[in-house]
Amino acid sequence: MSAPTSLATNVFGFGSYTTMLQKVESVTTSSMPVPPPKSLLIATPSEAGEFPLLIFLHGYLLYNSFYSQLLQHVASHGFIVIAPQLYIVAGPDTTDEIKSTAAITNWLSKGVLQGLLPPYVRPNLSKLALAGHSRGGKVAFALALQKTMTKLKFSTLIGIDPVDGMDKGKQTPPPVLTYIPHSFDLDMAVMVIGSGLGEVKRNPLFPPCAPKGVNHEDFFKECRKPACHIVAKDYGHLDMLDDETNGFRGRSSYCLCKNGEAREPMRRFVGGVVVASMKAYLNGDNTDLIAIKDGHEAAPVELKTIEFLV
């Protein structure tokens, strides 16, 4: 990794752009003759400009709206974030989610996103990132490995506490992890974010939400350089969600996983690392990523692990 190119900003805080958050349904209308394959939650800067894109995939049985604060954090630093609702109910097989994400990416290639944005906000489709949380992280890796499924090329991949099933040998189909070191042939930079409490049971009745053997550690071991692995020590698998997540699923997000003391620090941490990764690998500005690596930009959480393959 080369030397910084500019002064670092505080990626763990809200950026300089005000943001808009809008929901787009997957239905044909007179104003939207080519709707997206799935309903979308879009976070975008409000000010004029051309901005890189991030496709963000939600975790297992969660709603994309549960990430609204995280999405706006990223958008405030000058990125357009597109978060599809991949399903409402799903079984163990992730094949449909992989196909749906590919379909959304190919829908973007038609140039129809511009019609959903303010006229002065322009998406830069040549600067595209893919991220996913939990099961969505596994789906993101699976799609990135299937290079012929999308017409657009991803420049970076971000796995946020990715999980590939319940345990080694109990992976959700199709399995992604091969347990062969550096086996992922991705042709892009990768950031893997982990939670220190994800592998810890909340109580004897529930398994850990990110079990050892199928979690962030295993995904990073199979990455090739350039790749990064950063783990928050005392925070859990769902601590990057909104402070308020309503409904049965929202309430259960506080009960199923071992959590930290509050969500806000972990959410700012995840948002900051996502922003630093996108600035480095989409915009060519690695200042903030190096500052995090060298401890010059203090994270809002204590770090358990920080590894770089360069």
Which residue type sits at 46?
S
- Going by C-alpha positions, the residue among 149, 29, 37 that lies closest to residue 82 is 37
Tell me which of 100, 134, 195, 277 is the catalytic residue: 134
Backbone angles phi, psi at 129, to 5 degrees: -120, 155
In three-state secondary structure terms, 59 is coil
Decide: 136 and 70 in contact? Cβ < 8 Å. no
73, 160, 169, 233, 287 from 265: Cα distances, Å: 12, 15, 34, 12, 22
* Cα 93 to Cα 60, 103, 170, 203, 241, distances in angstroms: 11, 17, 12, 27, 24
Distance, first Cα to last Cα, the chain: 6
Cα–Cα distance measured from residue 11 to residue 160, given in angstroms and rounded to the nearest whole number: 17
The residues, any chain, with a CB within 8 Å of residue 74's CB and separated by 6 or more, are: 43, 54, 81, 271, 274, 275, 278
Based on the residue annotation, tell me whether 237 is a catalytic residue of this protein.
yes
Active site residue 39: no
3-state class (DSSP) for residue 131: strand
Nearest to 126 by CA among 149, 100, 155, 97: 155
Tokens of 41: 């939650």
Residues 54 and 74 sit within 8 Å (Cβ to Cβ): yes
- Quick one: residue 111, left, alpha or beta (phi over 0 = left, psi -120 to 50 = alpha)? left
- Examine the residue annotation and report whether 161 is marked as an active-site residue of this protein: yes
Q: Which candidate in 218, 237, 239, 288 is catalytic? A: 237
User: Which candidate in 76, 77, 133, 161 is catalytic?
Assistant: 161
Residues serving a catalytic function are: 134, 161, 237
